[in-house]
Structure 1
Amino acid sequence: MSQHPAVTFRSAAVVLALALGAATPAAADAAPRSRPGDAVRSALDELAGGGEFAGALAAVREPGGRGRDYTAGVGDLATRAKVPVNGQVRIASTTKTFTAAVVLQLAGEGKVELDAPVERYLPRLVRGNGHDGRLITVRQLLQHTSGLPDHSKAIPGTFFDNRHRYFEPRELVDLALTQQPLFPPGKGWSYSNTGYVLLGLLVQKVTGRPIGAEITDRIITPLGLGDTYWPNPGEQRIRGAHPRAYKSRTGEPGGEPVDVSEMDPSRGWAAGQLVSTPRDVNRFLGALLGGRLLKPAMLEQMKRTVPVPGAPRGWGYGLGLTKISLSCGGLAWGHSGDVGGYSTRGGVTEGGRSATVTATEKSLTAEGDKRLDRFLDTALCAGQRPAAGQALR
């Protein structure tokens, strides 16, 4: 699901950070050789060579559509196979931007009102233990200002205990509601996967169709995201070529890396279930911020941000979208995603350059988060002069 800043706020967390790799035609089936002075290539090699990540894959897309792929490190610790170019990965909380886009499409169609209470669409679902869906709006779910606690903190056992377990969406909501609200609706900010599970249920109630089908028909198919899919119930394997995902058995640096590539993604659902590739995430973000998916008024709403405690200066969270201040000046928009073994950062600049990177974890630390963010900044700023006084913290 995702949480990060310094840029995720790993436990209370926001999202996105940026990271990625350079430019070869999108049809290329092999990563390009390193070029002298290629800052992105060097940054990805450094990211994968620091001991915290087994491997990494990235893609950069220029405004005109031309792109370059990068890989570094090892894709399989057992066989020492290379990282597949543009391999499929679990993008975790980057799914939230897809879910938010569907909700905003429905708002643009007059089927959802952003400032209406959740109760209107999901009667009596958010009740008890201090929670009241009559006081929480759709906008607050989208922006993590609802005060709803994260269900992941209420799931008994460890990640390894629940790795293959299937969770119903309603079960995730019920787990969250066993906890007290974090603050009154609209009076704070706290990253909540639960809010996006509720948004998935809202979409299903309004459309009468599964959230995965709505994301597929409204976004994946129209944009031609051929390597992106919503896993079926109980589907635990990634369908295409992919780097193996690893997680420290102890959760600490230096712990035994366990292959967790196969897992049930249902604990993320509308907050984090999608499988995609760096190229597809770039294409999605470019289309979204380029106005191909939302009406102008809805895109403006999506980019209306609130401050996030602990985030770098200039950052903020909109409706399923993070605003990022770049070291070279200007802004980027995107989202991060972290789930068992995969850490993804992606963003698109206001000029239309997009970059996405995924690293396969051994153990993710605060310093690892920062390194991923710095890489994304490098990828989005490559070839541009740093702005005076600007720096990615």
Structure 2
Amino acid sequence: MSIVLSDQDKSTLRAAAYGAVSLMAAATGSPQKAATNAAIALRSATGLVGHVLAANAKDIELKGKTVAELADRVLPALTAAMKLLGEQAPAEAGNFHGTILLAIEAAQIHPDKANAIAAEMARKITAALDAGVAPAAAAAGPDRPELQKAIEEIVDSGFVGVSLRVHDERGEWVGSAGTAELGGAAKPPTNGHHRIGSNTKTFTATLVLQLVAEGRFGLDDPVVKHLPEFGLDERITVRMLLQHTSGVFNFTGEVYEDGTIAPGIPIPYGTTGQEWLDNRFKTYRPQELVELALAKPARFEPGTGWSYSNTNYVLARLLIEKVTGCSYAEEMQRLILGPLGLSGTVVPDASPELPEPHAHAYYRHGDTTVDVTRQNPSWTSTGGDMISTTQDLHTFISALLGGKLLPAPLLTEMCTPHPTGIPNMDYGLGVFVVTTDGGGTVISHNGAAVGHAALMYSTPDGRKTLTAALNCVDDANLTIGAAFQNAQQRLVNEVFGGGQADPA
């Protein structure tokens, strides 16, 4: 898109952005590291904001010898920046808002350790941003009324709240509808943290393919070569894990074509809902999940069918850790989160915490509705445990499909469709390859995580993306399921001109 801001406007944006970084750095115990982390987050910005923040920053003047004097200059600049974007580039107002929030979060280098000074500074920066939101939102609203209407109707269908982010030829649009929690009035944060469920698989598959690119193992290597301790069928390859063609039993249970159900670990759905709820802070180790799955009969001979199995991606995690000698989280940080500046994305392992800000997740059993925002995600492991934001999901899928994470041949392998038996929806390596009603192709992976759901869609070149976060009241009967499918379909239709809903 064309740059419509004056040089003075651009200077205001840069001063506000880097001023926020300076304030947060001063409030932490490690200012140099905090400033570095936050600056990386700023440089991850996309669109007009990204263009402005990436430019030479010599025109920034941050006068003031004390933190208080610096705050007196920076906080009004943040409000002014939000207002001018609302007036001159409304599609970028939410982008700037979300980028600054990611930067100040990145500056808090020990989020698990309380720092009252840093927390208070983060609150002041957020308040300064929000003071400029109202004019920006008013200016941006009429730009994409069809998108706002769509998410409001999705809320009406049964969701507590929805946040949506769209990047296309018209720029960026960000909006939310509904509420962040039951009985509350505040809308869901437009770039809040949420559990992304099976979107985790796309991150995991990308990490595996990056290790293939590094020569750590081959895509068609037998997995047993690297993980001999599990006694895997020697015909199962790395490719089959990512493609769901290994035939290994799904540790969260299998539903066969004749309707027969083979249970796995207790999950929130079906007859084990109460057991899951009562034990939602239990820790499962990846080896335990794999061993449980391998104790069950395989669904089919390796390579002879397609069946979605979380076990494949837990094996992929163990493969990553075995060949690198590092944890999955460390490798994710080295190859994806760090290079892309995805400071809002978390590999939680067994931690039940969800960083602020976030919308709440709920689970209803009988007459009781429980807030399950805090839950131990290790029961899905790398089949669906990660936490992210709509901005980070956009940055990730856009960079991935834009060729920034994988060599072209491996990206082609990733997006090569393999039949699933689902009409107009095939599977590559960690992604669904969807044929839209208009005959186009969309690359996607969606996910759900008990009261939270995430959508991630992109054109194959990464230039047009849709990312969304939904929060709801879940239950053992998956009552929200039909509304979730309809929500996916509605948003794909609005942004890409029609398509199939992702069943994951």
Scaled by the length of structure 1, the TM-score of the pair is: 0.84
- 2:163 maps to 57
Where structure 2 has 5 or more consecutive residues not aligned to the other structure, the ranges are 1-89, 98-129, 254-263, 267-271
- 1:375 maps to 490
**Aligned with residue 337 of structure 2, among 220, 235, 256:** 220
**Aligned with residue 151 of structure 1, among 237, 240, 251:** 251
**Aligned with residue 354 of structure 1, among 455, 465, 470:** 465
Note the C-alpha offset of 1:298. 0.6
Note the C-alpha offset of 1:191. 0.6
- Give the whole-Å Cα distance in 2 for the aligned partners of 1:208 and 1:202: 10
- Give the whole-Å Cα distance in 2 for the aligned partners of 1:155 and 1:335: 24
- Give the whole-Å Cα distance in 2 for the aligned partners of 1:97 and 1:84: 24
Name the aligned partner's letter for residue 240 of structure 2: Q
- 1:140 maps to 240
Q: Secondary structure at the match of 1:347?
A: strand
Name the aligned partner's letter for residue 91 of structure 1: I
- Give the whole-Å Cα distance in 2 for the aligned partners of 1:330 and 1:75: 34
- Give the whole-Å Cα distance in 2 for the aligned partners of 1:63 and 1:171: 47
Note the C-alpha offset of 1:328. 4.6
- 1:5 maps to none
Q: Secondary structure at the match of 1:75?
A: coil
How many residues were matched structurally? 351
Mapped pair 1:75 → 2:177: no
- 1:294 maps to 406
- Give the whole-Å Cα distance in 2 for the aligned partners of 1:212 and 1:36: 39
Matches within 5 A, 1:232-243: 233-243=349-359
- Give the whole-Å Cα distance in 2 for the aligned partners of 1:136 and 1:184: 9
Which one has more relative contact order, counting CA pairs under 8 Å at least 6 apart?
Answer: 1
- Give the whole-Å Cα distance in 1 for the aligned partners of 2:186 and 2:145: 24
- 1:39 maps to 146
Name the aligned partner's letter for residue 176 of structure 2: T
Name the aligned partner's letter for residue 385 of structure 2: Q
Name the aligned partner's letter for residue 330 of structure 2: A
Name the aligned partner's letter for residue 313 of structure 2: Y
Which is further off, 75-84 or 93-102? Answer: 75-84
Name the aligned partner's letter for residue 215 of structure 2: G
Note the C-alpha offset of 1:60. 1.2
Mapped pair 1:324 → 2:452: no
- 2:362 maps to 246
Name the aligned partner's letter for residue 343 of structure 1: A
Note the C-alpha offset of 1:376. 3.1
- Give the whole-Å Cα distance in 1 for the aligned partners of 2:167 and 2:403: 17
Maintained 8 Å contact 1:58/1:69: yes
Where structure 1 has 5 or more consecutive residues not aligned to the other structure, the ranges are 1-21
Runs of 4+ more than 4 Å apart: 390-393
Identity of aligned residues (%): 35
CA RMSD of aligned residues (A): 2.1
- Give the whole-Å Cα distance in 2 for the aligned partners of 1:162 and 1:186: 36
Higher helix share: 2
- 1:229 maps to 346
Name the aligned partner's letter for residue 299 of structure 1: L
- 2:192 maps to 87
Quick one: structure 1 residues 205 and 63, their matched pair in 2 at CA, closer, same or farther if it must change by over 3 Å? farther
Note the C-alpha offset of 1:391. 5.5
Q: Give the number of the structure whose alpha-carbon radius of gyration is greater.
A: 2
Name the aligned partner's letter for residue 278 of structure 1: T
Name the aligned partner's letter for residue 27 of structure 1: F
